[in-house]
Structure 1
Amino acid sequence: MKSILFFGDSLTAGYGLRNATEESFPALIQQKVNAAQLKYKVVNAGVSGDTTTGGLNRIDYWLSQPVDVFILELGANDILRGIPPQNTAKNLQAIVDKVKSRYPAVKLALMGMELPAFIPGQLVANFRAIFRQVAETNQMAFVPFFLQGVAGQLHLNLPDRVHPTAGGYKIIADTVWPVIKPLLKD
């Protein structure tokens, strides 16, 4: 059986859900994989609060097991901590480089993140651009905004207004599945 490694932060881990093993984004993708009768096992390597630096520091551990498809979802916590977008881009690229070095035939996808447009200055555009740049440089499948259709929707987010509810994750999984599914063809 092949493996899909979901590598991310709380949005991958399923922070705040009653049952992350069934309701998180990776769990919902596993359900879609099973329904399509594809022979892949999903591994959820999400860590709440993780930054791209943290991800870079822990990627080697996850690469000690076979990875056929690598889904990268990191960067939101970088901006919350004031890490410059160029540092986030450098770390994302370093993570991808390590994955490709260890598994040259790996299929890759990047889950992009956006900032609210009301934030002043060039930061919003710079942050948004790093995800597209990394995806294009590495020929990765790409979702420009991972939280599309869920961000800002009170009924689809936990009371913190940051993390999706189980219903929010269903929308995310439905949006992202068409990007991931083509990677699962042999």
Structure 2
Amino acid sequence: MKKALKYIINTIYSSQGQAAPKIRLAALLAALFLAAAAPVFPAPAEGPLKIYAFGDSITYGFAQTGSQSLTNSSSFRFLLAKKLSEIGIDARIVNGGVPGETVLNAERRFDKIFLERPDAVIIMFGTNDCKAGEDGRSQVPLAAYKASLESFVKRLLEKGIGVILMTSPPMPTDNIKILTNRHLKPYIFAAREIAIKNRIDLVDNFMLFNDAAEDKNLLRFFLPDMIHPNEEGHKIIADGLFSVFEDGSSHFNSDKAHERKSAGRDVYKGSDEEDISSGLDGGLVNCASGMPYIESSKNTNCEEGILTDGIKKPVKNGDIYYTSSSEAFPKWVIIDLGKKRTVKSVAVHNSRDLDSRNITVYYGRDLGKYSRAGSSSFKKPSSRLVFNFDKPAAARYIKVDIEDSYGDKNKVSLAEIEVFAAR
């Protein structure tokens, strides 16, 4: 029996009472059920599934002659359509990529997307936006990039169109002085934040490329210009996109019929003594590693991504997540695990023993809807809290609330949050 795929049902946009956009399944899957199985998928709409790919030259499929060439059949658009076809989905992917474009350039043609009447839009910008000019400043300031990109997302969702946001691939080398990962990273984190806030799926190419390069050699995924992905790089992008369509717990495919009935019930207790690292041999993995998160507040010189970077013993202030004493409690962090995971343990690492805090951990399948997992506080001399599940819980989001534990000192400093789940 083939695995069936349900596409884009009841995508929840926000917890503020806005309507949930519904996107029709554009083609029946070639999936067979057992004779006794009841039909669970809606009837197909007529015509192919239409996907609009909106972006820059990476989306367009950068192509020149000779060693710089990339054929259309090597682009992630073609590769994705082929993979969808193999599971019975007839997809038409419109090439909305324009070489050299930034989000500000793209605003002028954004409304043309609606003329295509797409079922879903894939958005990827950032490489050109972050590129430094002669004065060393990015072509598009980070604040303008965030505002424009989020505007694209919201306008599409308001029309009931599904959205998949993608981060740009990393730079394989920092030899191009006007375009380095130092320039690019703030734009990567901005895209991640927008995806979490707006409850849409994220294909994190920046992370996927780095994960694929186990030997740290990213160059094999790029054309000789060291900016544009080659066919191997486009395969990584296509695989990331395909996983969204294939994953039953993605925002596009989420089925809200199976809400947990245990909301508000503690399912595990906190301990600052037990080390869960031994559990890794039993098939657990830190699924929070490298994943995006949003926070209620942080100091401006606190580096992005440090709570999930795998470093538990920071060297300097910039290596930790911290806030000033002027900001009120409670403070919070929400980590997006990228898809629904079977979570078994959560570990919170404090960077300074004296900054003791009360920690409450929540889990949820959907942003804004959480079950309380448990509470505990750091106890000297331990700088680690480990929460072990009594029973595994299905979750995509982990929320950590931080409360004051002794008064008058509101600053917070945390080094790392780990979420251990089945592989």
Same fold (TM over 0.5): yes
Contact 1:131 1:144 in 2 (8 A): no
One-letter code of the match for 1:107? G
Q: Does 1:126 align with 2:182?
A: no
Q: Which residue of 2 aligns with 1:14?
A: 61
SS in 1 for 2:115: coil
Q: 1:56 to 1:41 in 2, by over 3 A?
A: same
User: Equivalences for 1:1-186 in 2 at 5 Å?
Assistant: 1-16=48-63, 17-20=69-72, 22-81=73-132, 82=138, 83-101=140-158, 103-104=159-160, 106-113=161-168, 126-146=186-206, 148=209, 149=212, 153-182=218-247, 183=252
SS in 2 for 1:63: helix
- Report the TM-score when normalising by structure 1: 0.84
Report sequence identity in percent.
27
SS in 2 for 1:109: strand
Q: How far apart, CA to CA, are the structure 1 residues paired with 2:239 and 2:91?
A: 18
Instruction: Measure how far apart 1:93 and its partner are.
Output: 1.0
Instruction: Measure how far apart 1:51 and its partner are.
Output: 0.4
Instruction: Measure how far apart 1:158 and its partner are.
Output: 0.9
- Report the TM-score when normalising by structure 2: 0.39
One-letter code of the match for 1:157? F
Q: How far apart, CA to CA, are the structure 2 residues paired with 1:110 and 1:100?
A: 12
One-letter code of the match for 1:26? R
Backbone CA RMSD of aligned residues: 2.8
Q: Name whichever structure is richer in helix by fraction.
A: 1
SS in 1 for 2:50: strand
Instruction: Measure how far apart 1:138 and its partner are.
Output: 1.5
Q: How far apart, CA to CA, are the structure 1 residues paired with 2:243 and 2:91?
A: 16
Q: How far apart, CA to CA, are the structure 2 residues paired with 1:134 and 1:173?
A: 21
SS in 2 for 1:44: strand
Unmatched segments (≥5 aa) in structure 1: none
Instruction: Measure how far apart 1:185 and its partner are.
Output: 9.0
Q: 1:159 to 1:86 in 2, by over 3 A?
A: same
One-letter code of the match for 1:14? G
Q: How far apart, CA to CA, are the structure 2 residues paired with 1:28 and 1:128?
A: 24
1:41-72 deviations in whole A, cap 9, x for unaligned? 11111111110111221111121121111111
Q: 1:165 to 1:93 in 2, by over 3 A?
A: same
Contact 2:156 2:163 in 1 (8 A): no
SS in 2 for 1:155: helix
Contact 2:168 2:205 in 1 (8 A): yes
One-letter code of the match for 1:173? A
Q: How far apart, CA to CA, are the structure 2 residues paired with 1:88 and 1:153?
A: 26
Bigger radius of gyration: 2
Unmatched segments (≥5 aa) in structure 2: 1-47, 64-68, 133-137, 175-179, 256-423
Q: Name whichever structure is richer in strand by fraction.
A: 2
Contact 2:205 2:237 in 1 (8 A): no
1:87-120 deviations in whole A, cap 9, x for unaligned? 111110111122223x22x221110137669769
Q: How far apart, CA to CA, are the structure 1 residues paired with 2:110 and 2:238?
A: 24
Q: How far apart, CA to CA, are the structure 2 residues paired with 1:46 and 1:120?
A: 22
Higher relative contact order (CA 8 A, sep 6+): 1
Contact 2:102 2:129 in 1 (8 A): yes
